[in-house]
Structure 1
């Protein structure tokens, strides 16, 4: 093994260890210290796009640990963390994905942490405490749920696909997204809306969904889950020929991916 490969492997192992520790601690904090009278601390894009005090506490915990373990790295977080590092490594974190679920006491919420090097995602961890699950992946090393390998389902016929999706917070975007669902749902087995993009991508990885798509995701929503889905055997992308982006994210196994991607493009799932 040459020294460059050895250095990359050692870096990836270190990043995975840090991501797992941060996701575990943040997940435990969110699960074990949720106030009974939890309220909204702020709103973002609209009155229904909320931030709770626990989002902020989780991000503070994660960024503090990263500053201690990896002080030269950059950080990009949903709740405002934005630090340019000098190491070439950037952490992309969603300290609480599925905030509205968490606010209402629903179990589908997660902590999502990814590490990139020179723009390429090397490590992804999604911890879903109420499921008792941690999904993880390293680039080229496969995906795991807890300690078991994660694999997508074989691609079903399009009409038997169970498809996950999500909705934005702006009224005009929701209206268009609802129209896409109205036109898509007669063509597939059914559609699910879980409320955490990171979990939805992991559900593709573990075979709980056949496919997933959504418009309007941010880098912290998809960075970890995208890697986990790909390492479990899924294809991911945006519009045909494009990578996943805020315009559109699609994840599905080969044999279903192109069919769904093309159909979503025809339905205008990439625009409001």
Structure 2
């Protein structure tokens, strides 16, 4: 099994396990807060991450592993698997279907590939720079660039950041697009861009596990990703080339 096939099989297995646990009811999820009341972790997050780690340790023993829920293994290959067992845990816990399991593989200098499984849609996305992007094994057409003012953007701004320089940067960027959607899962947002329903995603302080799986797939389709410093934080902007350029230019003012 090659790396892309392995990544797709891992996220499908993790997503399926998490969905089964959710179907068992909230008592099976044991949610706990992490950094805030909206940042939670469940037993399903831990179980799905453990499943992926176990399989990677067996199949790619020389690779490093980093998981959102604390998994860590230092390998010797120079490659690292970055795991997000349940991306969109708030949605997952509260019964919304915009959540997924995601993974990325990185090399010394760049992301190699990413995979995302959306259990509610029974859809598995995979791809990476220089690799074909697929949905359930079927090639996804390349992205078609569009004017920024005609596209929707997915984003997030925590209520505690609604004032000050961060909010100013946010509103400058938001003014560039047709509409905003706060959907709650960075990797799922990337699949919306991949399918042409959303044009750009922007958010600040995005960890690797929320960024890399979607970035890998979008770049395989002709999408772009940039980092921008604005308001004292780092913004991740990815999607169609023109909206990425315009949003990135607006953030610093």
Q: TM-score, normalised by structure 1?
A: 0.83
Offset at residue 92 of structure 1 (A): 0.4
- Aligned partner of 2:82 in structure 1 is 92
Aligned length: 248
1:222 equivalent among 178, 189, 211: 211
| Partner of residue 4, structure 2 | 16
Give the 3-state SS of the residue equivalent to 2:228 in structure 1: coil
Residue number among 184, 188, 212 corresponding to 2:177 in the alignment: 188
Most deviating of 246-255 and 174-183: 174-183
Residue in 1 aligned with 2:39? 49
Unaligned runs of 5+ in 1: 1-12, 241-245, 267-272
SS at match of 1:203: helix
1:80 pairs with 2:67? no
The 5 A counterparts of 1:121-132 are 121-132=111-122
The equivalent of 1:262 in structure 2 is 249
Alignment TM-score, normalising by the size of structure 2: 0.89
- Other structure's SS at 1:225 match: helix
The aligned residue for residue 238 of structure 2 is 251
Equivalent residue for 2:195, pick from 175, 188, 206: 206
- Return 72-81 or 24-33, whichever deviates more: 24-33
Distance in structure 2 (CA, Å) of the matches to 1:115 and 1:194:
25
Following superposition, the deviation at residue 87 of structure 1 comes to 1.7
- After superposition, the Cα gap between the structure-2 partners of 1:175 and 1:80, relative to the gap in structure 1 and judged at 3 Å, is farther
* Matched residue, 1:155: 145
Q: Deviations over 1:28-56 (max 9, x none)?
A: 11112323124543222123211111111
The ranges of structure 1 where at least 4 consecutive aligned residues each deviate by more than 4 angstroms after the TM superposition are 174-187
| Deviations, residues 173-208 of structure 1 (Å, cap 9, x unaligned) | 354665555555454211111110011112112211
| Cα pair 1:153 1:210 within 8 Å, conserved | no
| 1:182/1:122 CA distance change after superposition, 3 Å | closer
Q: Contact between 2:113 and 2:213, CA under 8 Å: does it hold in 1?
A: yes
Q: In structure 2, how many angstroms separate the alpha carbons of the residues matched to 1:193 and 1:152? A: 25
Kindly indicate whether the alpha-carbon contact (under 8 Å) linking 1:205 and 1:230 is maintained by their aligned counterparts in 2. no
